[in-house]
C-alpha cells in the first residue's frame, strides 16, 4: 500500500505543468529585429538559466546503489529567473519549475545507470549518464563518495519558437548514511548550449547561446518509511540560489 501511495504522488508531480506560463513564448521575439550583440547576450543569459534547471536535482546521495539496486523518483528543480534573462522575463515569468522523472539502476563494479525524462506541451527533455562509487560506507556518520556525468537534451517546438538545448553536468558528491535524515553535498561543473532552429530569423547566421557554471548542491534525505525517501535541497549556480525537492522508492 505504501508503494502505491508513493507511485501515485510521483505520477502527480511528474504530470504537473512545468511552468505557469510558457517561458519560450518570446524566444523568437528577443532574437529577431535586434542587433547581433543583443541577440547573443539574450541567448547566453537564456542558456544560463535553462542550464541551471536542466542539470538540477540529479542526485541525492553520495553512495551508489549496488547491484541490483533500484531508485525511481520524481524530482523538481526550481529557479528564480535572473533579471538579465530577457527571453523568459519578457514572457512575464519570474520563477520556473522543472519536474523530472529519474530512474537509477545499480550495476556491477560500483556503477549506476541514470535516466531522466520529462515531456510537457511542446517541450521534451531526455537525460542520461553514469555514476561511479569511489568510497562506500554503511556505518552511520562515515562518508560515501561518488562521481557522476550526465548529458541532457531539450527540444522545444512551440509555434514559431523552436530550439534545441544541451547540458553537460559532471559532479562529485558525498553523503553520510545518517538514519532518517541523511545529508548530501556535491560540487561540479555545468556547460549548456542553446541552438535556435533554422526557422528563427537571427541577425547573424549560426548563432548559439552558451553558459558554463560551477554547481554546488546539497540537502537532506528523509526516510519516513522503509524503501522510500523525501529529498529537499538547494543549489548555488551562476549566482542564483535554486531549490529542488523530490520523493521516490529506493532499494
Structural domain containing residue 223: 2-250
**Closest C-alpha among 147, 154, 243, 238 to residue 196:** 154
CA diameter of the chain: 61
Q: How far apart are CA 136 and CA 173, in angstroms?
A: 12
* From 9-13, 142-146, 166-170, 195-199, the region with the lowest mean pLDDT: 9-13
Q: How far apart are CA 37 and CA 50, in angstroms?
A: 20
Q: Is the pLDDT of residue 224 over 90?
A: no
pLDDT of residue 141: 85
Domain count of the fold of the chain: 1
pTM of the full predicted structure? 0.89
CATH number, domain with residue 8: 2.40.160.20
Amino acid at each position: 500500500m505504501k508503494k502505491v501511495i508513493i507511485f501515485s504522488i510521483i505520477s502527480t508531480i511528474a504530470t504537473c505543468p512545468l511552468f505557469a506560463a510558457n517561458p519560450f513564448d518570446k524566444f523568437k521575439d528577443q532574437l529577431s529585429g535586434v542587433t547581433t550583440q543583443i541577440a547573443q547576450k539574450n541567448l547566453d543569459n537564456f542558456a544560463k538559466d535553462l542550464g541551471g534547471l536542466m542539470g538540477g536535482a540529479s542526485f541525492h546521495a553520495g553512495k551508489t546503489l549496488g547491484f541490483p539496486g533500484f531508485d525511481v523518483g520524481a524530482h523538481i528543480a526550481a529557479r528564480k529567473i535572473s533579471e538579465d534573462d530577457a527571453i523568459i522575463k519578457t514572457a512575464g515569468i519570474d520563477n520556473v519549475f522543472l519536474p523530472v522523472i529519474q530512474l537509477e539502476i545499480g550495476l556491477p563494479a560500483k556503477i549506476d545507470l541514470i535516466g531522466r525524462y520529462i515531456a510537457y506541451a511542446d517541450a521534451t527533455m531526455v537525460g542520461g549518464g553514469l555514476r561511479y562509487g569511489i568510497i562506500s560506507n554503511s556505518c552511520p556518520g562515515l562518508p560515501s563518495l561518488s562521481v557522476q556525468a550526465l548529458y541532457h537534451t531539450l527540444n522545444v517546438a512551440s509555434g514559431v519558437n523552436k530550439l534545441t538545448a544541451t547540458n553537460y553536468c559532471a559532479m562529485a558528491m558525498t553523503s553520510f548514511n545518517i538514519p532518517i535524515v541523511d545529508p548530501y553535498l556535491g560540487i561540479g561543473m555545468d556547460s549548456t548550449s542553446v541552438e535556435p532552429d533554422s526557422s528563427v530569423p537571427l541577425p547573424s547566421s549560426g548563432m548559439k547561446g552558451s553558459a558554463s557554471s560551477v554547481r554546488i548542491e546539497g540537502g537532506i534525505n528523509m526516510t519516513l518509511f522503509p524503501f522510500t525517501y523525501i529529498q529537499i535541497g538547494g543549489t548555488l549556480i551562476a549566482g542564483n540560489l535554486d531549490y529542488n525537492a523530490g520523493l521516490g522508492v529506493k532499494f
